A and B are shown apart, each in its own frame.
Chain A
Amino acid sequence: MLGQRFIGDGLRGNARIIINGVPGGDLGMFMSGPTCIIHGNAEHAPGNTMDSGMLVIHGSAGDAVAHSMRGGTVFVKNNIGYRGGIHMKQYEVEARPILVVGGTAHSFLGEYMAGGLVLVLGIGKEKAMTDRGIGSGIHGGEIIVRGEVDDYLLGVGAKKFKFTENDLERIAPIIKNFCEQFGYDPAEFLDTNYTRIGPASSRPFASKYVWE
């Protein structure tokens, strides 16, 4: 496989797709149900507006990973480009998208995020996140980053929260699943050494669009 775009787009049901090589842009767009294993890197926007199912990328991925995703899971073993998780959204608890990145992410992670979870583990990195604009314009959902996050990396409207034992209990199954996919030992990730980032208020941009 070398650059074929639109694989698994709009596909529904219970299927398993194995990709050897590098798929092109918009892998799994609007996908609802299937599992897609990628033995290689992925191009821009895998998981674009994905509904449910799973992408497991044994490599890195380009910009806008999990763009507008509304359900299901995207696991990326290594790094992702700019604007990962942009516009992710969720509907209560039954449709809650999850993006987990093993390495690090470039700027504007979780930009305009409205729901779901983005988790960055920073495996092999001194700091999990070093690029700016994390959660810029976020008004829902959460971004969880391994270790400390410098204040200057936070985007407009984003705020850091303490990561608690309760939070760990919530994300432990996700960490275990990720580690199982890539052969990591989950034990080393199951502590509270994380930073949780979310919207600074329930309507952080109210004054931008309305006059009261």
Chain B
Amino acid sequence: MCGIIGFIDRTKSRMDGSSIKAALSLMNERGSGDGAGYAAYGIYPDYADYYALHVFFDNMAESKTKVDELLQQWGKIVHQEEIPTTPQPGIKKVHTPWRYFFKPSEDLMAGRMASENDVVTYIVMEVNANVKGATIFSSGKNMGVFKASGWPEDVANFYMIENYKGYIWLAHNRYPTNSPGWWGGAHPFNLLNWSVVHNGEITSYGTNQRYVEGYGYKCTALTDTEVVAYLFDLLGRQHELSHEMVVRALAPPFWDDIDRMPAKEANLNKAIRLTYGSALMNGPFAIVVGTDDGIVGFTDRIKLRPS
């Protein structure tokens, strides 16, 4: 099950979150009240040059001190605050959602990291794997993910989602079937500007996880969808594949289809399958991925999802 939505205004004019809240609530029967979330692009124009890090803290003493220290080792926090929330009867506030606006400093990076994106990716992995009681669940620029355990409307009301205006919105209503329902396991899953909402399951998760972990990503969210965000970052950002080629690698044509293609196209598709065999995703899935310049929707090759 699960319900997913994604839309973009191609003129980049921004829409507040009230419509997507209403739209997602129409699919309440596709969820179980164990998770819902929203991703919006264009919401932080005043801090557009800074990474907006959204963090779940279990406690504001030890965990937050460690994250503060790590950020200061790599750059500058220009602003930070608790993400505004209002209590909802259906939501137990087990974490404190916090946001930092952060920029890596060139002098601190010099000789250690090649790009700001590499620094932020490192920080996200380090915190999520090694800082107890802290989870960075959103780390893009001028965008943010808002998620929790609860029903779509409750989560939207909890974060007052109508106060944010974005030109891309993704939303997800969760029905966890084989992994635990917790705040960090709700969708969208995010790294840098990549956000992912997903209906279905990725039965190749083990293979995909081992593949991305070989490149330094760490899967810590206890559910399969997380790996899709890292696959997009690896192939789309680090390997600089076009968005279309990333999708081609994750859900490639069958071998017998490739055999029937003209030689040039067949060679390209063979090369992608051979190079990215471990990135291929198996199982039933319907996925929407957002980034700052667009969204892409794709399904498993025999369309076992959406259902």
B303 part of interface (Cβ distance < 8 Å): yes
Residue of A nearest to B302 (CB): A107
Chain A residues positioned under 8 Å from B302 (CB to CB): 82, 107-108, 133
Instruction: Tell whether B256 is near chain A: CB-to-CB under 8 Å.
Output: yes
Assess the B256–A106 pair: CB atoms within 8 A. no
In the complex, A152 has a CB within 8 A of chain B = yes
- How far does the Cβ of B252 sit from chain A's closest Cβ, in whole Å? 15
Contacts of A106 in B (CB 8 A): 303
List which A58-109 residues lie within 8 A (CB) of chain B. 63, 81-83, 106-108
Name which residue of chain B comes closest to A83, CB basis: B303
Q: CA A107 – CA B256 in complex, angstroms?
A: 15
Q: Mark contacts of B237-259 with chain A using CB atoms, 8 A cut-off: 1 yes-contact digit, 0 otherwise.
A: 00000000000000000001100
Rounded to whole angstroms, the CA-CA distance of A108 and B257 in the bound complex is 15
Contacts of B303 in A (CB 8 A): 63, 81-83, 106-108
Q: In the complex, what residues of B have CB within 8 A of residue A133's CB?
A: 302
In the complex, how many angstroms separate the beta carbon of B256 from the nearest chain A beta carbon?
Answer: 7
Specify the chain B residue showing the minimal Cβ separation from A108: B302
Residues of B within 8 A of A83 (CB): 303
Nearest chain B CB to A126 CB, angstrom units: 15
Residues of B with C-beta under 8 A to A107: 302-303
Q: Specify which chain B residues have a CB less than 8 angstroms from the CB of A63 in the assembled complex.
A: 303
Residues of B within 8 A of A152 (CB): 256, 260
Q: With the chains together, A100 CA to B303 CA distance in Å? A: 22
Shortest Cβ gap from B301 to chain A (Å): 9
**Chain B min CB distance to A90 (Å):** 25
Interface membership of chain B positions 256-269, coded 1 if the CB is closer than 8 angstroms to chain A and 0 otherwise: 11001000000000
A106 to B257, CA, bound (A): 15
Mask: chain A, 38-65; 1 = CB below 8 Å from B; 0 = not = 0000000000000000000000000100
Q: What does the 1/0 interface line of A105-134 toward B look like (CB < 8 Å)?
A: 011100000000000000000000000110
Chain B 199-240 interface residues, beta-carbon cutoff 8 Å to A: none
CB-CB < 8 A to B257: which residues of A?
Answer: 132
Shortest CB–CB separation between residue A65 and chain B, in angstroms? 13
B21 to chain A, nearest CB (A): 16
A23 to chain B, nearest CB (A): 14
Taking CB atoms, residues of chain A closer than 8 Å to B260 are 152
A83 to B256, CA, bound (A): 20
A139 to B302, CA, bound (A): 21
Residues of A within 8 A of B256 (CB): 152
Tell me the nearest residue of chain A to B257, going by C-beta: A132
CA gap between A132 and B303 in the complex, in Å? 12
List B contacts of A82 (CB < 8 A): 302-303
Chain A minimum-CB-distance residue to B260: A152
Q: Which residue of A lies closest to B23 (CB)?
A: A3
Task: Give the distance in Å from the alpha carbon of A83 to the alpha carbon of B302 in the complex.
Answer: 10
A133–B303 Cα gap in the complex (Å)?
12
- Could you give 12 example pairs across A and B, Cβ below 8 Å? A81-B303, A82-B302, A82-B303, A83-B303, A106-B303, A107-B302, A107-B303, A108-B303, A132-B257, A133-B302, A152-B256, A152-B260
3 tightest A-B contacts by CB? A82-B303, A107-B302, A63-B303
Q: Which residues of A contact B (CB under 8 A)?
A: 63, 81-83, 106-108, 132-133, 152
Q: 11 additional contacts, CB 8 Å, given A81-B303, A82-B302, A107-B303? A: A63-B303, A82-B303, A83-B303, A106-B303, A107-B302, A108-B302, A108-B303, A132-B257, A133-B302, A152-B256, A152-B260
Which residues of B does A touch, CB under 8 Å?
256-257, 260, 302-303
